[in-house]
C-alpha cells in the first residue's frame, strides 16, 4: 500500500512541476512573440530596402556594361549585338 501512495505522490509532484514548466514556457513564448514581431518587421523592411538598392545597382551596372560593350564593338570594328531590354 505504501508503494502505491509513494508512486501516486511522485506522479502528482511530477505533474505539478510539468504544469509549472508549461506555464513558464507559455509566458516566455508570449514575451518573445510580442517583442519578436516588431524586430522581424524591422528586419523585413531592411531586407526590402536592400533588395530595391540591389535592383537599382544591377540596372545601372547592366547599362554601363552595354555602353562599354558598344564602345568595344565600335573600336574593334565588330558588329553590334542586339540587346534585351530590362
Q: Report the distance separating Cα 44 and Cα 26, nearest Å.
A: 26
Q: Given a cut of 70, is residue 86 above it in pLDDT?
A: no
Q: What is the pTM of this model?
A: 0.48
pLDDT of residue 81: 57
Q: Report the distance separating Cα 24 and Cα 16, nearest Å.
A: 12
- The residue-averaged pLDDT of 29-53 equals 84
User: Could you tell me what percent of the chain has a pLDDT over 70?
Assistant: 87
pLDDT of residue 64: 93
* Residue-by-residue DSSP string for the chain: -HHHHHHHHHHHHHHHHHHHHHHHHHHHHHHHHHHHHHHHHHHHHHHHHHHHHHHHHHHHHHHHHHHHHHHHHHHHTPPPPP----
Amino acid at each position: 500500500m505504501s508503494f502505491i501512495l509513494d508512486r501516486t505522490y511522485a506522479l502528482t509532484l511530477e505533474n505539478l512541476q510539468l504544469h509549472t514548466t508549461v506555464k513558464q514556457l507559455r509566458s516566455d513564448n508570449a514575451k518573445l512573440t510580442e517583442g519578436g514581431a516588431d524586430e522581424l518587421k524591422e528586419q523585413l523592411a531592411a531586407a526590402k530596402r536592400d533588395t530595391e538598392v540591389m535592383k537599382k545597382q544591377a540596372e545601372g551596372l547592366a547599362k554601363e556594361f552595354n555602353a562599354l560593350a558598344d564602345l568595344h564593338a565600335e573600336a574593334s570594328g565588330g558588329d553590334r549585338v542586339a540587346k534585351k531590354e530590362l
